[in-house]
Structure formats: structure tokens, C-alpha cells
Amino acid sequence: MEATSLDKNYPFVKFLGEEKRNAFASLSEADKMRVTNAINAKPVYDEASICSVWEAVLAKTEVNEKWLTSIPSEFLPLWEAASMDVKERIIRQSKVYNLNTEYQIKNFWQTRGLGATFNSEVGAINESAKPEEMTDAKLASLGYTESYIESIKKGLGRYNKR
């Protein structure tokens, strides 16, 4: 991770020496989040204090953070690439769910929508426009034979008698 983005995402690294910065950069995203959350809960501004919080956080795994440390491997790259807004949303959601078993954690990650993409470019709907007629040529281009189309027309024709 580049030093400027590391400083931007984790402001407390400005107080660390070069060796500790590199050690922090080599941590997994889940561990970085755990350290950041602990430092945000009780801010510290010197290298020794930051390192002691860092070591204390990594030494123990809290029960409510098991969902992050046991993230399924297929979701780890998506989590690491997610924006801070998405990460914060998922962290808030994790506090609402009971995430004790591997099944619960996997289901949690599968239902977060990390892999889903949203297509915001949807065409305008014109409700007054008439749908285009399906001609026999268009139906044939869909792979239907003429005899099949005629049998469907004949079958539907008996409902169309008024």
C-alpha cells in the first residue's frame, strides 16, 4: 500500500517509524480494521502507545469480531477492495446478527451484496409507447419453428373468441 493512502486511511501511522509503518502495511485488512477500531475507541498519539494497543488487539480475538477474522476466502478480496463507507455499513450490520458459527458467518457474507453490481443506467420507461409487434420472422429468429408458432396461435385462438 502506498504511504499516502496508508496515511489517508489510517491517520495514526504518521506517528509510527518507518519499520512499524511497513509492519502495519503488511497486516491483513481485517487486522488493520481491528487495530484502527481500537485506536479510534481510545486515541493515542505516540509510537509506544500505538504499538501496545496494536499488540493487545492482535493478541486476542474478540467474539464479536469473529465474523471479520473468519471471512470466507472468496469475500476477502472484495472486502479489501471495498470503500470505507461499505466497510462501515457491513461493520454496523455485523453488530445486529448472531455470528458465532462458521455457517452464520458464511451466510452473513453471502448476503452483504459485495459481489453484486448496481446498474444505474436504466433506460426511461415510456408507458404510452406501444410494444413492437412480434412478427413471424422475429419469432423464427428466436428459434421457434413455423409449425410451433401456428400450434400456439391455434391453441390461444380458442380463448380469443368473443
Looking at the fold, whether 7 and 45 belong to one and the same domain comes out as yes
Looking at the fold, whether 69 and 82 belong to one and the same domain comes out as yes
User: Structural domain tally of the chain?
Assistant: 3
- Percent of the chain residues topping a pLDDT of 70: 83
Q: Which domain holds residue 9?
A: 1-60
15, 46 in Cβ contact below 8 A? Answer: yes
Residue 92 neighbours by CB distance under 10 Å = 9
Domain contains 95: yes
For residue range 123-145, what is the model confidence (pLDDT) as tens digits?
777 788 777 776 767 766 777 77
Looking at the fold, whether 54 and 75 belong to one and the same domain comes out as no
Mean pLDDT value across residues 44-72 = 77
Q: Which residue's C-alpha cell is 472484495?
A: 78
Domain contains 122: no
Looking at the fold, whether 67 and 53 belong to one and the same domain comes out as no
Domain contains 121: no
Asked whether residue 147 carries a pLDDT value surpassing 80, the answer given is yes
In whole angstroms, give the CA distance from residue 18 to residue 54: 16
pLDDT, the chain, mean: 79
Looking at the fold, whether 40 and 87 belong to one and the same domain comes out as no
Looking at residue 63, what is its pLDDT? 46
Domain contains 125: no
Looking at the fold, whether 1 and 34 belong to one and the same domain comes out as yes
For residue range 90-105, what is the model confidence (pLDDT) as tens digits?
888 888 888 888 888 8
Domain contains 119: no
Please give the grid coordinates belonging to residue 15: 506517528
Using CA atoms, how far residue 40 sits from 36, 50, 117, 149, in Å, is 6, 11, 31, 67
Exposure string over 65-85, b if 16+ CB within 10 A, otherwise e: bbbbebbeeebeeebeebeee
Domain contains 127: no
Asked whether residue 89 carries a pLDDT value surpassing 70, the answer given is yes
In whole angstroms, give the CA distance from residue 43 to residue 36: 10
Helix axes 47-59, 18-25, angle to 10 degrees: 30
Mean pLDDT value across residues 29-35 = 83
Looking at the fold, whether 51 and 78 belong to one and the same domain comes out as no
Domain contains 22: yes
Looking at the fold, whether 78 and 50 belong to one and the same domain comes out as no
Looking at residue 139, what is its pLDDT? 64
Domain contains 123: no
Asked whether residue 10 carries a pLDDT value surpassing 80, the answer given is yes
Looking at the fold, whether 7 and 55 belong to one and the same domain comes out as yes
Of residues 40 and 4, more confidence is placed in: 40
Predicted TM-score (pTM) of the model is 0.37
Of residues 7 and 85, more confidence is placed in: 85
Looking at the fold, whether 72 and 55 belong to one and the same domain comes out as no
Between 51-55, 61-65, 136-140, 150-154, the lowest mean confidence (pLDDT) is in: 61-65
In whole angstroms, give the CA distance from residue 24 to residue 14: 12
